[in-house]
Amino acid sequence: MQLSPDKYLKRTTEAAPLAVFRLFFGLMMFASIVRFWLNGWIEKLYIAPKFFFSYYGFEWVKPLGDFTYLLFILCGIAALMVAAGYKYRLAIILFFFSFTYIELMDKTTYLNHYYFISILSLLMIFLPANVYFSIDAWRNPARAFQKIPQWCIDAIKLLLGIVYFYAGLAKINSDWLFEAMPLKIWLPSKYDLPLLGDLMQQEWVHYAFSWSGMLYDLFIPFLLLWKRTRFVAFLMVIVFHVLTRVLFPIGMFPFIMIVSALIFFSPKIHHGILNFISGWFSISKQKFDNLRTYQFFGIKKKISVGILSVFFVIQLLFPWRYLLYPGELFWTEEGFRFSWRVMLMEKAGYAQFKVVNAETGNRFYVNNSDFLTPFQEKQMSFQPDFIIQYAHFLADHFEKDGHENIEIYVENYVALNGRKSTPYIDPEVNLLNFADSFKHKTFILPFEDEIKGL
C-alpha cells in the first residue's frame, strides 16, 4: 500500500454507503425540523424574543418575523429532497444555507450538534450522494452510477472522526478526569431513572463515566475504522448515545450519530439495508446496480478536492485557536465554540447591569427580563461576547429613552463546575469602551483556580 495522493484519489468503492447516509441524514433532518416546530421552539426562540445575540460578523442575520416559519418549511422540504435524492445538488445547497441561517440567527441556541449539521451539509454539497438509489439517478440513467471515488466516503468518516477525537481531547483536563466535573453535578439529579437512579448517586460512577467517556471519544473512530473491532464499536456507539439520550436532554443528536456511524460499515451491509428498503417500497434496486463508476474530471475535480482539503485543514486547526488567547478557556470561552467541546462545563452566572449617567452620577439597574427571555438571560450571564453585545444594546435602548452620557457597568458572578461563584467581569469597567471582536477581552477578571490539561 502506497500512500500516493493520486492513487488514493483514483480508488473507487460502492456508492451504496453514501446513498444510505444521504437517505437517513435527510430523513433525520426533516424529523428534527418537525420536532423543533412541534415543540413550539420557532416561536419561543426566534419570534418571541425582542433582541437576538448575533455572531461576530453575522449581525445581518436576523429572524424574519413570521417568515421564519417559511425558512423552516424551506429547510424541511430541502431535507426531504436530500433524503430522496431529488434535485440533490440544489436541495443540499438549500439545506445548508437555510439551516446555517437558522443557526446564525441567535447564538443563544448554539449547540455543537447544530454546527456539525451545518458543516456536514456543506461537505455534502461536494459529494455525489445522488448517483445511487435516488430519484435523480432513477430519472436520468446517464447520471446513475454504482461506484464512486473512495474519498467521497472517507471524507464523511474523517469528519466524524474529527468530531469524536477532538471531543475526546477536550475531555483531557483535570476537571473532567480528576474531579469528575460536571458529571458529578449532573448525574445525581437523575435519581428517578429506573434501574440507574441509585447508581447515579455513587461517586465511582461519576468517575467511571468521565473516564470511559473520554476513552470512548478518543478511540471510537479507530475502532470503527478497523474491521475486526467494527461491530463491537458500533454496539458501543449505540450504548453510549442511547445512554446520553436517557441522561441528558440532547434531542435528536444521539440518533443522528448512531445512524451516521453506519458509514463505517462495508458496502455489503449498506446493500442489505437498501435491499430491505427496496423490498418495503417495491423499488427495483437492480436498476441502480449498473457497475458504472462516477468520476470527477478536470476543473470539477480540482475544485472539489481543493475545497475539501481546505475544509479539513480548517477543521483540524480551528479548535486549537484557543491557544492564541490568554487565560483559562473554560472561564473566558474565547475559542470555545466550534471546537467539539461538549458536556464539559456546568456554568451559570448572574449579571446585574447598571446604567450610569457619567455627568450626574445618577444610576439604576436593568431588569434583564424586560429585554431577554429567561433562556437568553441564562446564556448571556456567563459569556463575555454576549455581555458586551447586550451592553451596547442597552446603551442604544436607554439613549432612545432620553438618557444621556450613558455608561454601562455589570456586576457579574459566574460559577464553573461546582466552584463557588466569583466576580466575572470587571465591575469598574464601562463596557461601552469595548466593542466585540476576536481580540482578547481584557475586562474579564482572572480565573481564581486552575484547570490543567488541553
For residues 163-202, which are near another protein according to CB under 8 A? Answer: 185-186, 188-194, 197-198, 201
229 binds another protein (CB under 8 A): no
Beta bridge mates, 412: 351
Binders in 416-445 for another protein, by CB under 8 A: 418, 420-421
Task: Report, in Å, the least distance between residue 437 CB and another protein.
Answer: 25
Binders in 366-395 for another protein, by CB under 8 A: 366-367, 373-375, 377-378
Among 119, 155, 355, 395, binds another protein (CB under 8 A): 355
Among 8, 150, 272, 407, binds another protein (CB under 8 A): 272
Give CA–CA dist 143/162, Å, rounded: 32
Q: Are 287 and 142 in contact (CB under 8 A)?
A: no
Task: Report, in Å, the least distance between residue 190 CB and another protein.
Answer: 6
Helix (H) or strand (E) holding 349: strand 347-357
Query: What does the block give as the cell for 34?
Result: 418537525
38 contact partners, CB below 8 Å, separation of at least 6: none
226 binds another protein (CB under 8 A): no
Among 7, 10, 287, 363, binds another protein (CB under 8 A): 363
Nearer to another protein, 13 or 112 (CB): 112
Q: Which stretch binds another protein (CB under 8 A): 7-15, 152-160, 210-218, 356-364?
A: 356-364
216 binds another protein (CB under 8 A): no
301 binds another protein (CB under 8 A): no
49 binds another protein (CB under 8 A): no
CA 268, 269, 275, 278 torsion: positive or negative? negative
Give CA–CA dist 150/219, Å, rounded: 23
- Write the DSSP assignment of 382-432 as a string of letters: T-HHHHHHHHHHHHHHHHHTT--SEEEEEEEEEEETTPPPEE-B-TTS-GG
Residue 277 has, within 13 A of its CA and on its CB side, a CA count of: 16
Task: Report, in Å, the least distance between residue 420 CB and another protein.
Answer: 6
362 binds another protein (CB under 8 A): yes
Nearer to another protein, 201 or 212 (CB): 201
Neighbours of 137 (CB within 10 A): 24
Nearer to another protein, 70 or 193 (CB): 193
242 binds another protein (CB under 8 A): yes
211 binds another protein (CB under 8 A): no
Task: Report, in Å, the least distance between residue 38 CB and another protein.
Answer: 9
Q: Are 22 and 129 in contact (CB under 8 A)?
A: yes
15 binds another protein (CB under 8 A): no
Nearer to another protein, 8 or 393 (CB): 393
Task: Report, in Å, the least distance between residue 207 CB and another protein.
Answer: 15
411 binds another protein (CB under 8 A): yes
Helix (H) or strand (E) holding 12: strand 12-14
- Write the DSSP assignment of 32-86 as a string of letters: HHHHHHHTTHIIIIIIS-S--PPPTT-TT----TTHHHHHHHHHHHHHHHHHHTS
Nearer to another protein, 1 or 38 (CB): 38
Strand order across the 422-423 sheet = 363-365, 347-357, 406-416, 422-423
258 binds another protein (CB under 8 A): yes
Site string for another protein, 85-124 (x = CB under 8 A): ------------------------x-xxx-----------
Nearer to another protein, 23 or 131 (CB): 23
348 binds another protein (CB under 8 A): yes
Nearer to another protein, 121 or 381 (CB): 381
Looking up cell 461506484 gives 147
Task: Report, in Å, the least distance between residue 425 CB and another protein.
Answer: 13
346 binds another protein (CB under 8 A): yes
352 contact partners, CB below 8 Å, separation of at least 6: 365, 366, 410, 411, 412
Binders in 66-85 for another protein, by CB under 8 A: none
Nearer to another protein, 7 or 44 (CB): 44
- Write the DSSP assignment of 233-247 as a string of letters: HHHHHHHHHHHHHHH
Give CA–CA dist 349/415, Å, rounded: 6
Query: What does the block give as the cell for 340?
Result: 467539539
SS3 call for 282: coil
Q: Which stretch binds another protein (CB under 8 A): 133-141, 312-320, 341-349, 426-434?
A: 341-349
Give CA–CA dist 76/70, Å, rounded: 10
